[in-house]
Amino acid sequence: MKRVLSLASVVLSFAFAVSLAAQATPTPAGQAPTAGMIIATDADYAVHMKEIGQLNGVLNKSIKAGTADEATKAATRLEVLFKNVHGYWNTKKVEDATTAAQTAVTSLQAVQKALAANDMTAAETARATLAGTCMTCHTAHREKLPEGGFRIK
């Protein structure tokens, strides 16, 4: 009986140690950014850009296909992400990048307004302005790494 009990306690304490270890694990990278989140690390920044890249594709396709609901959803989320990106560059006082991020935000607001008015032509025009900001900022501040991927410069 004593043996059984001590075995049980070993199993229990092991389970406890495992659960502690699980709790100590830092928040996994790739967690969805929230509105107003402060981008504190390069990893946070990359998570934003990866989602931006994916949603930019969705926005492009859905405006061209005329699916306003899907386009509005993508534009709304992109606005949240670019506001965080804007905050990052603004804090670093990098003027051209701050301006590019601000233009992205205002373009996305124009996209949403055009979609609400069911004006797909205006939505496409504003989307093209948004696309211009990607190029501008990447040329100045994105560096391609030899091992693949990108970093901030």
**What are the Cα distances from residue 70, in Å, to 3, 47, 64, 130?**
62, 22, 11, 17
Task: Please identify which residue in 39, 62, 72, 89 interacts with ligand HEC, judged by CB under 6 A.
Answer: 89
* Shortest distance in whole angstroms from residue 15 CB to ligand HEC: 38
Cα distances (angstroms) measured from residue 77 to each of 15, 71, 124, 140, 146? 40, 10, 17, 25, 31
Residues numbered 107-146 forming contacts with ligand HEC, rule: CB under 6 A = 130, 133-134, 137-138, 141-142
Task: Give 5 or 38: the residue with its C-beta nearer to ligand HEC.
Answer: 38
Minimal CA–CA distance to 107: which of 139, 150, 63? 63
Site for ligand HEC, rule CB under 6 A: 45-46, 49-50, 52-53, 56, 85, 89, 97, 100-101, 104, 130, 133-134, 137-138, 141-142, 149-152
